[in-house]
Structures are given as C-alpha cells and as structure tokens.
Amino acid sequence: MNEELIELFLSTQAAEHGAGSNTLEAYNNDLQQWMYFYDDEPKNLTADDISDFAAFLNARGYEPASISRKMSALSDFCKFLFSEGIIKENPLINLDRPKKKQHLPKFLTREEITTLIEAAEYQDDNYSKRAAVMLKLMYACGLRVSELVSLPLNCINENEKQLLVKGKGAKERVVPIADEALYALHRWRELRELMLHRSTSRYLFPSCRSTCGHITRSGFFRGIKKLAQAAQIAPERVSPHILRHSFATHLLESKVDLRSLQAMLGHEDITTTQIYTHIVPNSLITDVISHHPLSKKTD
C-alpha cells in the first residue's frame, strides 16, 4: 500500500508540479527510507513518528542538510496524503521542524518542568488542572503525545505503580509511574467524573468537543503553549516532544541505563535512544552503560 502511494505521489509531482527526474529520484530515495523506518498504515501516522524518524537519522550520523531534505520530502508527501483524504490531518502542522544547524534533542531543565506544572496547577479552571495531570504523566513516563491523549481509563495498575501504554504499531509496553504522578491521577479521576456530567467515556482524558472522544494532540499542544507563557518560558521551547526529551535526558543524567531507557521510550532501535548520549558528559555515558547487566562480559 505504501509503495503504491509513493508511486502515485511521484506521478502527481511530475504531472502537476513539473518535478524533474533528479527531483523524483531524490523523493523516491527519501520516501523509501521512510517506508523502511515506518512500517504502519498511513492513517496511523503521527507527528511523533516523524520526530522519531528525524532523531533516527541524526543518530545514524546524517548531516543536518540531508535530514532537512528528507523532512522536506516527507512534508510534501504528507500534504499529498492529506489532500487525497488518506490521512485526516497533516501531522507536520504543529511539528517542530528540524533546524539545519542543530539536531540534538531540546529539553527543559528540572526547574522549568516544575514551573510549567505549577503554572497549570495555579489556574483555577478544570482544563488547566487536567493539563497539569497530563504534564506530570508525560514527564513521569516519557510518553509520546499520541499515547498520552488516547490512554484508556483502565491503563493504570495502582498496586504495581505501572502504566500500560499502547505505542507505535499497537505494541504494548509497561512503564513505571512516579508516586507524585500516581497521586495526581487518583485525584484526576474524581475531577474527571465531574467534567463528564454523568456521561461515560473509555478514555482517561475524555473530551466532549473532539470527534475521537479524547483530547486531541493539537488541543494539548495549544494548551501547553499557553502554560509556557504563564510560566514565563519561551513557548517555542515547549512542546510535547520536548517534554519527552526532558524525561529521557533527566533519567540518563540520573544514571538510568540506555537499555532501560529504550524500553520505557518504546524505541525499536537502541540507535534512536542513543541520541541522548550527545547531551550528557561522556564520563556519565560510560558509567551508565557499564552498570547494565548486558554490558558485563560472559565466559
């Protein structure tokens, strides 16, 4: 299916936009690489998938200019998918596009994360309180925004302090929940019932306004941008993916090993996780890796 869509896209670029043979060949090469990375249906495509692809390319040593070109090709392909009605929304609309000069993960400090959450908790409306819980959960568990907004109500195991997450390709993983996030979730459930006004929903973060039944990625995106302003943090420095990067960076700084971090982030390839090794001291990386059981030599 993806192969056929690429061929149709190339034909459209040639017929409607006058793309030459060299341009079409470059498009094809970039999209074939994307198809190798992304093995799901186009309708399931999210901004997180594209961000992960950019991180994957960076970790594999591609030059910034090459990554930028591949992202541009993918952007044109997504516009085509949207125009053909194959995807319901363009996942690149709210995505932080990769900068040519720097592709290392952006992240917030621990203090900035705390300030952002406090800004949400300080607000008196229920939507801000919901945002505070979602921020805590995303930062505590390193969730993708698509995973966060679509969490079902029964995803929490309070006794084991664990969260069941359905990630890319419908693959499930279990991640631990920090006590503060678990307590926030417990209180949220009470507020959630009041916000539903006697109606029911299978989602942890329901929304009566969205057709999908839960808060949308774009809705959460807009909400945290407003909270960034309230917290006096530059809005361009705050996004769902940056919160995920912050989770990973802070855990690595605390000497959590790469294999454990890979499992919590739901990365298929350890290379994707290794992008975070570029933003912490080499001595710390050596220390982290040496503590993992798989790093020990066997006879």
- Distance (Å, whole) CA 102 – CA 185: 36
Structure tokens given for 104 = 């290392």
- Distance (Å, whole) CA 60 – CA 35: 16
Buried residues in 222-237 as b, exposed as e (16+ CB within 10 A): ebbebbbeebebeeee
Active site residues: 144, 168, 241, 244, 267, 276
| Amino acid code (one letter) for 122 | Y
Residues with Cβ within 8 Å of residue 161, at least 6 apart in sequence: 176, 177, 179, 182
Which residues face 162 on adjacent strands?
Answer: 157, 176
- Distance (Å, whole) CA 124 – CA 13: 51
Q: What sign does the dihedral 109-110-115-121 (CA atoms) show?
A: positive
